Amino acid sequence: MERKQFFKKGEVIWAKIRGFPWWPGIIQANCSKQLNSVDETHKVLVNFLGDNTHANILITQIEKYDKKFKEFSKTKKKSLIRAISIADKLAKGEINQDIALKSFKAGQCDE
């Protein structure tokens, strides 16, 4: 049985959207109507780093940043390399979210 992962607001994570590679982001909000619900239908709002986009992502499509770094960070794509650099600085506390998300227009959870 797979162990459930818990994520918190502001956490640096990897998120997956079909058609795109795993991308670093920050959990912005819990989109579940039941705040303690963590199942395959649970969604969180993710602000993606480096490209100023956001999406409501199923919890099953999110991974811990440090845990999957070696696997997901292998890329030659410049925009992803830049996003990973921002995520690393955030994870190490070298910059804060305000700097990482400058000029970012925050999204909302889907209704």
Angle, CA of 14, 100 and 10, to the nearest 5° = 55
- pLDDT at position 48 is 93
Residue 84 has pLDDT above 90, yes or no: yes
To the nearest whole percent, how much of the chain has pLDDT over 70?
Answer: 74
CA distance linking residue 63 with residue 5, whole number of Å: 8
Mean pLDDT, the chain, whole residue set: 83
Q: Output the pLDDT for position 38.
A: 58
36 alpha-carbon distance from chain centroid: 19
CA-to-CA distance for 4 and 36, rounded, in angstroms? 12
Q: What is the DSSP letter of 55?
A: E
pLDDT value at residue 1? 38
pLDDT score, position 16: 97
Half-sphere exposure of 42 (CA within 13 A, CB side): 16
Report the distance separating Cα 7 and Cα 30, nearest Å.
9
- Amino acid identity of 69? F
pLDDT in tens, 14-56: 999 999 999 999 998 877 655 455 566 788 899 999 888 899 9
The sheet that has 53-58: what strands, in order across it? 53-58, 43-48, 23-30, 12-15, 62-64
Residue 95 pLDDT = 78
Rounded to two decimals, the pTM is: 0.81
Cα–Cα distance for residue pair 108/8, rounded to 1 Å: 16
Please give the pLDDT value at position 30.
79
